[in-house]
Amino acid sequence: MIPELIKKNTPQHRMLAVGSLAFDSIQTPAGKVDRILGGSANYFSISASFFTSLNLVGVVGDDFPKSHFEVLKNRGIDLAGLEVAKGETFHWVGEYGKDLNEAKTLSTCLNVFEHFNPKLPESYLDSRYVFLANIDPDLQRSVYGQIKKPVLVAADSMNFWITGKKQSLLQTLELVDLLTINEGEAFQLSGQNNILDAAKRIRAMGPKILVVKQGEYGALLFTDQGIFSAPALPLATVKDPTGAGDTFAGGLMGYIAHEDAGDEIFKDDAILRRAVIFGSVMASFTVEDFGFTNLLRTTHEQVQARYQEFLKMTRF
């Protein structure tokens, strides 16, 4: 059975996301692009907007194209929490070799993001679902602390923070219910090299729900109910993996907010399993073109058709 996607715009489904909005310059075996729009908050919220309405928290410079604000608003993404600061927008330069699983960062200019100190608008404080994208764990906690009573808080992180701000990251992890993290970073964070040991260690740090992303091999979900293994869809064309992880998180969290099951989510993993598949579905669209070009032109019908492909690919 394919879950029907009727976007929920009522306040109780509203999800808050904090992360980066950026210019990305990317080279992959499929080509090269300069200063296209990117950033974790963009990928996440565009992906999640297929399932729910959103409150966006972030900062851009005065060089950021205003036309993109309309794109986001038209998808039900609220921008009251988006600050436009004097200066330049965050700029990431990276490249991928034949192994598209790992980006090589060539330069990171934080620019306006360096002094970002998010203050949430009053209208955001009742957000029920929260996603703290891969940013400084201090910032993640600063946003978390402002929200009144979230139902479920999720976060992402990466090697940069595991190495550079481990103590702060551990404080954040104590607060979150769900962590999405790459497999290599799960090993790094836990100090383990077996995935079951790593999952056990990380879940003891706070997040009851752990999603380990394995790139082109799919994802593993660890909960009190056990393990769920989701494949990735083999694709004819993979042009640019940038944003795949955030898009994945957007589908995952978007579907969780869409179902709005409250505490049930911790007692029965059925919604989480479908959410992981929707995460993989959304990510599969992103990587087919540079940036979020393909994600923006994707339809609800295509999302449901691809969910069906995952069903067909895994039945036995």
Q: Report the residue number, 103 or 227, with the smaller CB distance to a copy of itself.
A: 227
User: Residues touching a copy of itself: how many (CB under 8 A)?
Assistant: 32
Where are the extended beta strands (E) located within the chain?
15-18, 22-28, 31-38, 54-61, 77-85, 91-96, 103-109, 129-132, 152-156, 178-182, 209-213, 219-223, 226-230
Work out whether 314 is an interface residue with a copy of itself (CB under 8 A). Answer: yes
Work out whether 316 is an interface residue with a copy of itself (CB under 8 A). Answer: yes
Q: d(Cα 72, Cα 239) in Å, to the nearest integer? A: 23
Backbone angles phi, psi at 123, to 5 degrees: -65, -15
Work out whether 274 is an interface residue with a copy of itself (CB under 8 A). Answer: yes
Q: d(Cα 121, Cα 145) in Å, to the nearest integer? A: 13
Work out whether 217 is an interface residue with a copy of itself (CB under 8 A). Answer: yes
Work out whether 229 is an interface residue with a copy of itself (CB under 8 A). Answer: yes
- Token couple for 10: 């009522």
Work out whether 98 is an interface residue with a copy of itself (CB under 8 A). Answer: yes
Q: Give yes or no for a contact between 25 and 92, defined as CB atoms under 8 angstroms apart.
A: yes
Stretch that binds a copy of itself, among 40-48, 150-158, 274-282, 289-297 (CB under 8 A): 274-282
Q: Which of 21, 41, 179, 276 binds a copy of itself (CB under 8 A)?
A: 276
Note the maximum CA span of the chain: 56
Residue 162 CA: distances (Å) to CA of 122, 126, 134, 189, 191: 32, 30, 11, 6, 11
Work out whether 12 is an interface residue with a copy of itself (CB under 8 A). Answer: no
Q: Which of 197, 224, 264, 268 binds a copy of itself (CB under 8 A)?
A: 197
**Between residue 244 and residue 273, which ones bind a copy of itself under the rule CB under 8 A?**
270, 273
Stretch that binds a copy of itself, among 16-24, 70-78, 136-144, 216-224 (CB under 8 A): 216-224
Q: Please tell me whether residue 101 adopts helix, strand or coil conformation.
A: coil
| Cβ within 8 Å of residue 164, ≥6 positions away | none
Q: Which of 12, 163, 194, 308 binds a copy of itself (CB under 8 A)?
A: 194
Backbone torsion region of residue 6, taken as left when φ is above 0, otherwise alpha when ψ lies between -120 and 50, otherwise beta? beta
Q: Which of 66, 236, 299, 301 binds a copy of itself (CB under 8 A)?
A: 236
Query: Least separation, in Å, of the C-beta of 118 and a copy of itself?
Result: 35
Q: Which of 149, 234, 263, 301 binds a copy of itself (CB under 8 A)?
A: 234
Q: Which residues bind to a copy of itself, rule: CB under 8 A?
A: 98, 193-197, 214, 217-218, 220, 226-231, 234-238, 270, 273-274, 276-277, 311-316
